[in-house]
Amino acid sequence: MNYETSCFCGEVRFTVTGTPEAQGYCHCASCRTWSAGPVNAFTLWKPESLEVTKGASSIGTFNKTPGSSRKWCTKCGGHLFTDHPGFGLVDIYAAMLPSLRFEPGVHVHYQETVLPIKDGKPKFKDMPAEMGGSGATLPE
């Protein structure tokens, strides 16, 4: 599958190909203050799935931590995706892929939630063990 999208103003365009490695919601405070939303709906892909087709020179990067290179359009401020080089994955915000059927499987950093979501999906206190977290889960 092939998903085309662009930033808020259209300066930056990119295509995502294939299927995501994982999908879910991040409830961490960093995602919250970055996105200005109560949760961040993420889809994780292998970096080679992502191709910037227009406006690459208008992509800004901010690192609060080495593990997350957060990308946005320097013309409109619209958010694009976050590189997670330590995981070998790129988080393309689910809202940026309107043609992708979003199927969240997991919640991460649920101990920081300000918007509990009762959907029956696993709620990791921080992160799954295979991604360097405690693997502990919390009730909804």
Residues that bind Zn ion (CB under 5 A): 7, 9, 11, 26, 28, 31, 73, 75-76, 78
Q: Which residue has the tokens 């009762």?
A: 118
How many residues can be counted in the chain?
140
* CB-count burial class (<10 Å; 0-12, 13-18, 19+) for 74: middle
Per DSSP, 124 falls in state B
**Minimum Å distance from CB 25 to Zn ion?**
9
**Minimum Å distance from CB 62 to Zn ion?**
14
**Minimum Å distance from CB 5 to Zn ion?**
11
Select 100 or 112, whichever has its Cβ closest to Zn ion: 112
**Minimum Å distance from CB 82 to Zn ion?**
9
Q: Are 139 and 123 in contact (CB under 8 A)?
A: yes
DSSP 3-state helix, strand, coil percentages of the chain (rounded to 5)?
Answer: 15, 40, 45
Select 3 or 91, whichever has its Cβ closest to Zn ion: 91
Select 1 or 61, whichever has its Cβ closest to Zn ion: 61
Select 47 or 67, whichever has its Cβ closest to Zn ion: 67
